[in-house]
Amino acid sequence: MSLVQVVALGGVGEIGKNCTVVEQDDDIVVIDCGLSFPNEEMLGIDIVVPDFTYLVENKERIRGVFITHAHEDHVGGLPYLLNQINVPVYASELTMALMSNKLEEKIPVKQLDLRTFKPGDVIPAGKLTVETIRITHSIPETCCMAVSTKHGHIFFTADFKFDFTPVDHKLTNITRIGEIGQEGVLCLLSDSTNVDRPGWGPSESLVADGLKKVFATAPGRVLLTTFASNIHRMQQFCEVAGEMGRKVAVVGRRMEQNLDICNRLGYIKIPKGVKINLDEMPQYADNQIAVLTTGSQGEPMSALVQMSKGTYGRLQIRQGDTLIYSARPIPGNEGAIWRTVNRLFRQGCNVVYQSADHIHVSGHAYQEELKMMVNLTRPYYIAPVHGEPRHQHLYNGIAKGMGYPDHRIFTMEAGIPLVFTETEAHVGAPVACGRVLVDSSGTPGVPDEVLRDRHNVANDGLVVITIAVDPEHGELVGDPILQAKGLHGPEGLVDQAFSFLTDALANLSPEDLRDTSIIKHEAQDAVRRFISKRSSLRPLVLTTIVEV
């Protein structure tokens, strides 16, 4: 019996760290290799990447990692995979350029096997092939991917929308997607992020009109913040600024880098004479100036956040400035974003963050677009990806509404393979899978215990007990020391805990005092019990026994 297997190492039941493995006999292809951002419970964590154990164990069979587009949730895990195994990585020219830039910061790119494709290319991968098909999304050169197996195509939509007026005029190859549907799609893995939005999403090019309206009434400089990867948004801003007789300066390292790359490779067309350097700004009146800036997520070190605090040396916000917030808050960042916006208002900057006109549009398909994708690909099986369980379940409802019976719809879970035989599909045995937390030193693998301790201290503080003993004679040496940090609670709590500790130690017999583990246990226990009873706090208690 000949099996085809699809297993997601991330990106199902969550939004982020997309990474899916397609297997057939001796061949494996991997679609995307992303990261995700920590939730509010992951204290001190910078990013989260998939557990790559399964790929490492099967590295001999991997024919390539195929990248659909250059967003972090599709490429950000690569350095952590390529640190463990060196396998070919395929991406379009632009995607490769944008991601190499970041890869280089972690790993020497020259050692890697990076291969560029053109949208439309069909790439052999052992006995599998991967066909790349242009599709529209919020970053240029996104490709959906059809992996042809002996049982039919496994079709990855990638992140997509059907935008008939994309800024670069490069249209989705709808016809080819339809042809692949006719050739036979075994399983569709579809973006489901926006499944809770009815209708059809607005085109990126509508944003130009929204921007124009803001420009038309802005008395002074106009700033715009968006994701540094939103190339078309930046292009539209430059075009509108140019039309309105303004020059555009760019602040923020990543934005400048991305614009340089796109400019060099021809993926952005900024009207001649519009772009200026930041230090040329004083040559122009305020109403001749426009500024592109990073910081749309309230990142503490970003240009925008520093400007909002008045600590950005190269540009000061002033009365009459207008900032266009042309992005979507990533969940968890709302607090930092609104604090930034509030500070900007306080400095006299008008922030346009909500508007009847489009100043931001989503890059993901709405309900009718999702249905159109099903219509084109006519898959036998359907599995929504790129969504939390709520998105997957709502998508399944749409599939049912299009006539799909339950047994042809799969709610994938990370690490649980979908196995296709010649006649049916079923769920296979789990493979190694999980999340790997990366701390701010960049070191992957922060264990749960570390998070638990951080939580503990973050919520209730910390008590450190130090006790010197002479174990030979079974006696305490001097008084114990009790220090509290990050602890509040009712008045006198720490002093009372100290009394309680000395009382508890006084009750120990000379035999007990010969056994440091008994001392440690009794001391810790006494302090924990007292504090919990008196204040219902449960601080982390650390005890050190010094034997002298």
Annotated catalytic residues are 191, 364
According to the binding rule CB under 8 A, does residue 468 interact with a copy of itself?
yes
Neighbouring-strand partners of residue 114: 89
Distance of CA 66 to the CA centre of its chain: 18
- Print the binding letters for residues 196-225 with a copy of itself: x by CB under 8 A, - otherwise: xxx---------------------------
- Span interacting with a copy of itself, options 224-232, 267-275, 315-323, 449-457, rule CB under 8 A: 449-457
Pick from 273, 403, 447, 510: which binds a copy of itself (CB under 8 A)?
447
Structure tokens at 93: 């020219």
- In the window 311-340, what residues touch a copy of itself (CB under 8 A)? 331-332, 334-335, 338
Pick from 269, 346, 378, 473: which binds a copy of itself (CB under 8 A)?
346
* Distance between CA atoms of residues 87 and 19, nearest Å: 15
Pick from 2, 319, 459, 499: which binds a copy of itself (CB under 8 A)?
459
According to the binding rule CB under 8 A, does residue 278 interact with a copy of itself?
no
197/514 with CB nearer a copy of itself = 197
According to the binding rule CB under 8 A, does residue 537 interact with a copy of itself?
yes
* Distance between CA atoms of residues 27 and 96, nearest Å: 23
- Can you give the length of the chain in residues? 548
Please classify residue 319 by burial: count the beta carbons closer than 10 Å to its beta carbon, then call 0-12 exposed, 13-18 middle and 19+ buried.
exposed
According to the binding rule CB under 8 A, does residue 341 interact with a copy of itself?
yes
CB of 369 to a copy of itself, least distance (A): 17
According to the binding rule CB under 8 A, does residue 44 interact with a copy of itself?
yes
* Distance between CA atoms of residues 17 and 434, nearest Å: 11
- Residue 183: which of 421, 418, 376, 6 has the closest Cα? 376
- Print the binding letters for residues 375-404 with a copy of itself: x by CB under 8 A, - otherwise: -------------xxx-xx---x-------
According to the binding rule CB under 8 A, does residue 466 interact with a copy of itself?
yes
Q: Do residues 220 and 423 make contact, with C-beta atoms less than 8 angstroms apart?
A: no
Strands 143-149, 128-134: pairing kind: antiparallel
518/537 with CB nearer a copy of itself = 537
Contacts of 444 (CB under 8 A, 6+ apart): 49, 80, 436, 437, 438
- Span interacting with a copy of itself, options 1-9, 84-92, 106-114, 537-545, rule CB under 8 A: 537-545
CB of 331 to a copy of itself, least distance (A): 5
User: How many residues interact with a copy of itself (rule CB under 8 A)?
Assistant: 71
According to the binding rule CB under 8 A, does residue 274 interact with a copy of itself?
no
306/367 with CB nearer a copy of itself = 367
Pick from 318, 421, 445, 499: which binds a copy of itself (CB under 8 A)?
445
Contacts of 326 (CB under 8 A, 6+ apart): 207, 211, 224, 225, 226, 230, 233, 237, 296, 359, 360
* Distance between CA atoms of residues 382 and 464, nearest Å: 55
